[in-house]
Each structure stands twice: as C-alpha cells, then as structure tokens.
Amino acid sequence: MPKTLNIKAHIYRNTTKDINTLSRILKQGGLVAVPTETVYGLAANALNAKACRAIFKAKGRPTQDPLIVHIHTLKDITLIAEINYLVAPIARAFWPGPLTLILPKKTSIPSIVTSNLPSVAVRIPSHPVFRKLLKKTGLPLAAPSANPFGYVSPTTSHHVYESLGNKISYILEGGSCEIGVESTILDLRNPEYPKILRPGGISKNQIEKVIKRKVLISSALDYSKVNSNQVAPGLLKKHYSPRTPLKLTEHLKLPASKSSTRSAYLFIKKPKGILLNNIFYLSKSGNLKEAARNLFSKLRELDSGGWKKIYAEKAHGHAIACAINDRLQRAAAKTEFK
C-alpha cells in the first residue's frame, strides 16, 4: 500500500486484550471492521445514531441504504424488532448464520440505521471471532460491508485495509470469509407473504422446507434508484462493482490465442485446454460453494490487474448459484461495454 495514503488502520487479533480494546471502542461510539462468515463488515453501536452516521461517512454510503443490525442471541432481538410466529422456527433453523430478517422495528433503533423506515434488518452471525466481540460489547452492532459504497465487498482483512485503511482505525482479523457473499435477506414484515429480497448463503428451498409455505423472490429491477429509501441493503441494480467494465454471459468459451489479451475471462470452473494468462476461474473443480467464497476476491484481483474488460460467466446448478449470479448481474449493470 503506498505510504502517501497515510494509513492509520491497525489490524487487531483474536486475543482477550484486543477484543476488550475493540469492545471499548465500540461502546465509546467508534467504528471497527469485523469478520463475518459472509463478508467483512464495518460495525458501530446500533443504538448510537452518531456512531452509525459515521459508517455512512466512512463508506461514502447514501443514507437511503439501511444497515443490518447484528445481535448475539435470539433474546436480543426483542430489543430492536417486533417478532412474529415465523421468526422462532427460522431462527432455530438458520441462526447463527447467513440469513437476515426484515421486521418491524422498535423505537430503540435510530432512524439513521433504517433509512427512516419502520422496519429493521437483523441477523445473528456465526463467525466465532465476531460473536466473541458481540458478546463482550453486549450491544447490537450495525454493520454493512467494510468497503467504499458500491465497490466489491471485502472477504479478508487485507481487502478492508486496502479500501478503508485511511478512513478507519480498527480492523479485527478473522481470516478469509467462509461463505464469501452477503447474507440472504428475507422480508418477514408480513409473515403470510415471506419474500427473499437478496439471495445469499441460505436458499429459497431451505427456507420453504422450514416454514412449509412458498417464498417469493424479488428482482434487482425493483430497487434500481439510489434516491429512494431501500427496505434492505444491497438491493440496488448496480452494486458490488469493480471499476473495470464487466460483461456477464450464460457461458464462456476460451478465446482464440490471437485474441486481445487486454480482456480477462472469468470462468466458474477451470476450463479444459491451453490457458492463456488472461484466463481465470473461481473453482478448479466447479464447486459452487468454493466459487462463491472466491468471487469477490477474484473480482478485486482482476480489477487491479490492468485489464480493460472482464468477461464473466453465470453459475449453474447449486442453490448458491443464485447468489453468485445476483452479485455478477449487479456488478455488470449499466456498464459501458463495447
């Protein structure tokens, strides 16, 4: 990282001393980048409006895009949200884990957290290091992805350091994120009509098996304007985007050897044949969980590789393919690609 950026961030470890230090920072209204099983988040005390406002400033995030509130145990949810009869069975099945619920909010949650809407996004994360910090603080923590707004999400502490290291002071190390894409967001404001707003690590079929009813799926096209308040984060049509123009296709073919090497080609599975230096893939075997885990890291690598264009192919098969394709579709949206 160039010294001219005047980096002030420090990476803290999973030690009692460091956890205590970061807990104190959060209680005092500070920001801490934290590991989760999905992506790294930028956390603040969800009950402190000033602290949460600092998240938006550090990320350059519009206040129309709400934050997800992370809690340690299910009993903590009664402090911030109104629950209904579907919350308990869903929580038993999927929490701690990569599922966020949209529920009517309680007045304890500042309006800055929810973009002035009467609902709140909440989940219980499973990452053991983040859970230790949540337990120590005893606070609900609001935490969107720890990256500049709209850019590719971070899945390592180094990604956070690269993107926000000159804007925040505290990063908690937790290794590479296990899942690699953001949580599934399930709208439960009306339990009679549960609806997935954003696909993630928990699939539609998994949820339907638990609640014994049909779950609807929203479209990215429903949330295409940044100047309107979003009911949940990560729903804008253009999001998770590298600066390099990206085009998404159903299937990719290996380019001819004489093709321009100024374009990078991103496959889901390692293709057969002679691979040029502009050929990349997310999983050698085509394992889609591995592909999801590597997606954002690979997009960041390609974005810093000097390529003029990125061609990426859609995932097919496993349920998490829906989440991979969702991120790629948003990354490719409104790209000037000729």
pLDDT in tens, 275-295: 889 999 999 999 999 999 999
Same domain (yes/no): 166, 124: yes
Which of 119, 159, 109, 162 lies closest to 139 in space, CA to CA?
109
The model's confidence at residue 4, banded by pLDDT at 50, 70 and 90, is: very low
Residue 200: CATH number of its domain: 3.90.870.10
Q: Please give the Cα distance from 196 to 194 (Å, whole number).
A: 7
pTM for the model: 0.93
Range name among 23-32, 200-209, 229-238 with the lowest pLDDT average = 229-238
Torsion of CA 267, 273, 277, 281, to 10 degrees: 20
Domain membership of residue 283 as a residue range: 246-332
What is the residue type of 173?
E
Predicted local distance difference test score (pLDDT) of residue 1: 35
Inter-axis angle of helices 157-164 and 288-303, nearest 10 = 30
For residue 81, tell me if it sits in a domain.
yes
Judge whether 304 lies within some domain: yes
**16 within a domain of the structure (yes/no):** yes
Do both 37 and 149 map to the same domain? yes
**Do 252 and 211 belong to one domain?**
no
**Do 15 and 107 belong to one domain?**
yes
> Which tokens is 178 given?
């296990």
> What is the H or E stretch that residue 32 is in?
strand 32-34
Number of domains in the chain: 2
- Say if residue 155 is in the same domain as residue 268: no
Q: What is the Cα–Cα distance from 57 to 332, expressed in whole angstroms?
A: 26
d(CA 213, CA 210): 8
CA distances from 65 to 209, 230, 236, 272 (A): 31, 5, 9, 42
